[in-house]
Amino acid sequence: MSKMLEIGAAIEAGKGKNVQDLIQAAIGEGMKPMDVLQGMIDAMGAVGEKFRTGEIYVPEMLIAARAMKKGLEVLRPLVVGESGATVGKFIVGTVAGDLHDIGKNLVAMMVESQGFDVIDLGVDVKAEKFVEAIKANPDCRVIGISVLLTTTMPAVKDTLSALAAAGVRNQVKVMVGGAPVTQAFVDNIGADGFAADAATAAGKAKELNKRLN
């Protein structure tokens, strides 16, 4: 098995320590860090696809994403400054008043594993905090808002209004997700993207990121 295939298999199996060792061995054998990164992104893409089609479930995707994260800890310092080392930035948070983070964390992990630099604002994120984060990261093109409760859904619209009022709405594409969210809701409040699950969200973030490029 080639080193890259081994790294991919270790990611899928959720073996974080193995992933780190294999990356170091691959670099030692002369593989370019950027090629390793691309191989890992492809491997996580395949994991995401298996999740999307129902072949695997949250636990399997979660351990793969955690192993990917371990691998990135080793690889990131080696690719800093290389063009294409990150696809772009992704600011994410659970909307004001809502303290739920399981779905948001999964989305953050899957988006990160597709090469994004993720800025996670946590839960109960007030609109001003999104505004500040966008202003502090003018190169960020996509943000994600998570919402679980029907009672906090109105706060998503309020957040969009606050982005517009602060003059940063056109700087970013906004994707929204969470159990009660539908495409119709997203269209209705004037957000830009919806994904029904974390793997699809990662693809959506890439797509929206490209659209603004």
Q: Are 145 and 120 in contact (CB under 8 A)?
A: no
Whether 131 contacts 163, CB under 8 Å: yes
Site for another protein in 185-204 (CB under 8 A): 196-197
Give the position of tokens 């790294």.
7
63 forms part of the interface with another protein (CB under 8 A) = yes
66 near another protein (CB under 8 A): yes
**Chain centroid to CA 49:** 15
Q: Where are the beta strands (DSSP E) in the chain?
A: 88-94, 116-120, 142-146, 173-177, 193-194
Q: 143 to 172, contacts with another protein by CB under 8 A?
A: 149-151
Whether 191 and 208 have beta carbons less than 8 Å apart is answered as no
Assigned token pair, 127 = 């609109």
When the beta carbons of 100 and 141 are compared against another protein, the nearer one is 100
Among 5, 17, 32, 57, binds another protein (CB under 8 A): 57
* Residue 56 sits in the site that holds another protein (CB under 8 A): yes
Least distance from another protein to the Cβ atom of residue 79, Å: 26
- DSSP H helical segments within 80-182, as ranges? 102-112, 127-136, 153-165
Minimum separation from the CB atom of position 106 to another protein (A) = 8
Measured from the Cβ of residue 73, the count of other Cβ atoms closer than 10 Å reads 12
Contact status: 31 vs another protein (CB under 8 A): no
58 scored as a contact of another protein (CB under 8 A): yes
Q: Which of 21, 49, 60, 117 binds another protein (CB under 8 A)?
A: 60
When the beta carbons of 122 and 190 are compared against another protein, the nearer one is: 122
Largest CA distance in the chain: 55
Tokens 């491997």 locate to: 43
**Residue listed under structure tokens 């899957």:** 110
Of 27-35, 74-82, 131-139, 176-184, the segment contacting another protein by CB under 8 A is 176-184
Nearer to another protein, 87 or 198 (CB): 198
Site size for another protein, by CB under 8 A?
24
The binding site for another protein (CB under 8 A) comprises 14, 54, 56-60, 62-63, 66, 97, 99-100, 102, 105, 124, 149-151, 179-180, 182, 196-197
